[in-house]
Amino acid sequence: MATSVWLRRLKVAERLLRPGGSYRRRSGGGGSVEAASVVDGSEEPDLPEKTMAKSFSALQAARHEQAERTILVSCPPNVTEKKFYQYLASYGTINKYFFYETFGIYALVEFSDKESIEAVQNSSTIPSLQHECAVPFKSRFFNLRNKHVGSLTSTHPSVPQLKQSVIPPNELLLKLSGAKSIDEQLFTVLKESQLTEENTRLRFLVCSLLKEIAAAYFPECSIKPFGSSVNNFGKMGCDLDMFLDLDSICGRNNTKTGGAFSMEYQTKRVASERVATQSILSVIGECIDQFAPGCTGMQKILNARCPLVRFSHQPSGLQCDLTANNRIAMRSTELLYVYSNIDPRVRALVFGIRCWARVQGITSSIPGAWITNFSLTMMVLFLLQKRNPPIIPTLDQLKDQAEEKDKHIIESHDCTFVSDIKMKPSQNTETLEELLQGFFEFYGSFAFSKMSINIRKGKEQNKPEASPLHIQNPFEQAQNVSKNVNQTQLDRFVTAARESAWILQQEGLKYPKANPWGLAALLLPNSQSSMGKSKKRRKQPASERIKSLLDSLKTNKQTTDHLNRPNGVRKFFSTVAR
Ligand code: GTP
Ligand code: MG
């Protein structure tokens, strides 16, 4: 198939799958003709669509600005959409709104200008409580109260609520079994698990609400999301990583003025930047804990390599990590964003592998000795650099294309790479099925004991230290992003990769003849034990899952010849991970 035709086909698939893509149900006016007619003109601003070619920083700026014109409203249980809309529209033009449910019904409402929010704030009151006292803090998070019973609500809930949670595994398996190819299965995983437009708005709104707290101390600060919330690899339910950016206060961007003198601020002095970061996070964390409505369970993790405060934002259901002085992580986020936009296969494969790893118990949301999603993404990117011809460029090649505006030196680390990439599409025409198989075969036999994974060079290199898994940090090159991984967890990854390579090679499991088949056969729950569970299971040479898949193959009267194919991945079982 000609490259251009193939890529065009994938681009169409990718466009349909993007948040804001046309497959999605429209929000804001689902049940009410009146509301829909007003909102439809400007709703679904298709920010990601329109800004698909936008640089990361331009997209972030647009999202931040949008979040500042947005409020969060806790609604009475049986609120009607029409009355809700009529009431809030009296404060100004509404660009978009949608409802969702966590512990109660919430609405996110984007006005077309900030004055409308001031109007809402001016007419809102601090509640007077009978047995408690409300801390008088005026945020953009409101309660909608019924002054007259029946005025805003009906007896039946009538607002269309958007899901803010991840698709249940069984539902996903069902959808995968309906796909026609493994490529389609991978795109289905992407479509079903990626962050929606609405969830992304919610994430930026949380940052914007928290910024108002931090701004009491640091008026020019901003709170920026980073990591999977914005790198295009986020799945529904992923944590919200945030970075308190004080750069505009520190005046890093100020130009020097002429004359004989210059002025600087008198400041407190502390022993190091780390100590300053710790004390800033400690104070801001305290304020969030005491004053920010909806934030609970504050933990201060200030002695970590990267100090942070962790808490839950209950109205959005988001687990939040707030860091400061973390500009390198912001650059790695942008780097992943750039890679995600180079070729549609990148996101589909990363989502597929992350989903596989989660089901296999290779990754976890709990910190520990397991492989992280960030490390897994690096491994997929490395694989795509190693294909022949390569599907994505190396980081050094991205650096070679950088312009003056792309130059970033952070704490003496060169974090330069091109942000607006102009490259011819890759000549590589491999299908996602081939790449998935390629991932399992490549890492099922990778020389982890000797070699390091390096996306800057796109080549494995000799390991500089003894950690079981070494993935060079793309910017802090002396660091290993997978330093936390122990030998047991690496072995589990390698075993799962080999098993999966072998399963995918079984002709009978490749096509929708078997049930489950293709990717679904790799995503069966209770396959390899999840971490910490059943040591007994781990000792088995081949998992129960493979046996039952084989049985199902036999019952389906698939020829067993396939199982003995000369290039079968059985050979993997005889090699050793180390
Ligand atoms: P999930 O939260 O698992 O969906 O993925 P994530 O990419 O957000 O990972 P995580 O929350 O663990 O980390 C947030 C971001 O911090 C990552 O996207 C990276 O940009 C950065 N990061 C994570 N781990 C490392 C690391 O070991 N080294 C460096 N330099 N950056 C890291
Ligand atoms: Mg994260």
pLDDT band at 276 (very low <50, low <70, confident <90, very high): very high
- Ligand 1 atom nearest the C-alpha of 330 is 20
pLDDT band at 187 (very low <50, low <70, confident <90, very high): very high
pLDDT in tens, 535-544: 444 444 445 6
Distance, CA of 93 to chain centre: 31
| 18 pLDDT above the threshold of 70 | no
pLDDT in tens, 353-376: 999 999 999 999 888 999 999 999
Quick check: CB of 238 below 6 Å from ligand 1? yes
Arithmetic mean of pLDDT over the chain: 82
Q: What pLDDT does 528 receive?
A: 43
Quick check: CB of 166 below 6 Å from ligand 1? no
Q: At what angle do helices 373-386 and 344-359 cross, to 10 degrees?
A: 130
- Ligand 1 atom nearest the C-alpha of 329 is 20
Q: What pLDDT does 366 receive?
A: 87
Question: What is the mean pLDDT of the segment spanning 166-186?
Answer: 90
| 34 pLDDT above the threshold of 60 | no
Tell me the CA–centroid distance for residue 374 and ligand 1, in Å.
5
Tell me the CA–centroid distance for residue 229 and ligand 1, in Å.
10
Tell me the CA–centroid distance for residue 475 and ligand 1, in Å.
13
- The token pair that represents 75 in the structure block: 């609604």
DSSP 332-398: HHHHHHHHHTT-HHHHHHHHHHHHHHHHTTSS-SS-SSSPPHHHHHHHHHHHHHHSSS-SS--HHHH
| 273 pLDDT above the threshold of 60 | yes
Quick check: CB of 434 below 6 Å from ligand 1? no
Quick check: CB of 70 below 6 Å from ligand 1? no
Q: What pLDDT does 240 receive?
A: 98
- Ligand number with the minimum distance to the CA of 476: 1
Residue that wins the pLDDT comparison between 236 and 541: 236
Burial (0-12, 13-18, 19+ Cβ within 10 Å), 257: exposed
Cβ(322)–Cβ(304) below 8 Å: no
Residue that wins the pLDDT comparison between 273 and 204: 204
Quick check: CB of 473 below 6 Å from ligand 1? yes
Q: What pLDDT does 265 receive?
A: 86
Distance from C-alpha of 119 to C-alpha of 135, rounded to nearest angstrom: 21
Q: What pLDDT does 567 receive?
A: 37
Q: What pLDDT does 7 receive?
A: 52
Distance from C-alpha of 516 to C-alpha of 522, rounded to nearest angstrom: 9
pLDDT in tens, 121-171: 999 888 777 777 777 788 999 999 887 655 555 555 567 777 777 888 888
Quick check: CB of 500 below 6 Å from ligand 1? no
pLDDT band at 545 (very low <50, low <70, confident <90, very high): low
Tell me the CA–centroid distance for residue 101 and ligand 2, in Å.
22
State whether the Cα torsion 293-297-302-304 is positive or negative: negative
Distance, CA of 312 to chain centre: 17
Q: What pLDDT does 552 receive?
A: 56
Range in 214-218, 225-229, 351-355, 493-497 the model is least confident about? 214-218
Tell me the CA–centroid distance for residue 227 and ligand 1, in Å.
5
CA distances to 210, 302, 412 from 306, in Å: 20, 8, 17
Question: What is the mean pLDDT of the segment spanning 178-203?
Answer: 95
Distance from C-alpha of 455 to C-alpha of 519, rounded to nearest angstrom: 26
What are the residues whose beta carbon lies below 5 Å from ligand 2 (ion)? 227-228, 239, 241
Residue 239 φ/ψ, nearest 5 degrees: -70, 165
pLDDT band at 22 (very low <50, low <70, confident <90, very high): very low
Measured at the CA of 67, the angle between CA 81 and CA 409, to 5 degrees, comes to 155
Classify 276 as helix, strand or coil: helix
Neighbouring C-alpha atoms within 13 Å toward the C-beta of 20: 13
Question: What is the mean pLDDT of the segment spanning 443-471?
Answer: 96
Distance from C-alpha of 377 to C-alpha of 17, rounded to nearest angstrom: 19
Range in 13-22, 180-189, 523-532 the model is least confident about? 13-22
Question: What is the mean pLDDT of the segment spanning 500-529?
Answer: 77
Q: Which of 243, 374, 414, 470 to mutate to test the pocket of ligand 1 (most atoms within 8 A of CB)?
A: 374
| 498 pLDDT above the threshold of 50 | yes
Q: What pLDDT does 146 receive?
A: 82
- Ligand number with the minimum distance to the CA of 334: 1
Q: What pLDDT does 547 receive?
A: 59
Tell me the CA–centroid distance for residue 8 and ligand 2, in Å.
31
pLDDT in tens, 60-111: 999 999 999 999 999 988 888 999 999 999 999 999 999 998 888 999 999 9
Q: What pLDDT does 29 receive?
A: 35
Q: Are strands 451-452 and 413-414 parallel, antiparallel or unpaired?
A: unpaired
Q: What pLDDT does 137 receive?
A: 81
- Ligand 1 atom nearest the C-alpha of 484 is 27
% residues pLDDT > 90 (the chain): 61
Cβ(437)–Cβ(504) below 8 Å: yes
Cβ(484)–Cβ(477) below 8 Å: no
Distance from C-alpha of 222 to C-alpha of 232, rounded to nearest angstrom: 21
Look at ligand 1, atom 22, and give the residue with the nearest C-alpha: 329
- Ligand 1 atom nearest the C-alpha of 475 is 30
Quick check: CB of 481 below 6 Å from ligand 1? yes
pLDDT band at 516 (very low <50, low <70, confident <90, very high): confident
Q: What pLDDT does 24 receive?
A: 30
Residue that wins the pLDDT comparison between 255 and 199: 199
| 497 pLDDT above the threshold of 90 | yes
Tell me the CA–centroid distance for residue 242 and ligand 1, in Å.
11
Look at ligand 1, atom 18, and give the residue with the nearest C-alpha: 227
Q: What pLDDT does 33 receive?
A: 25
Look at ligand 1, atom 15, and give the residue with the nearest C-alpha: 227
Quick check: CB of 371 below 6 Å from ligand 1? no
Q: What pLDDT does 50 receive?
A: 34
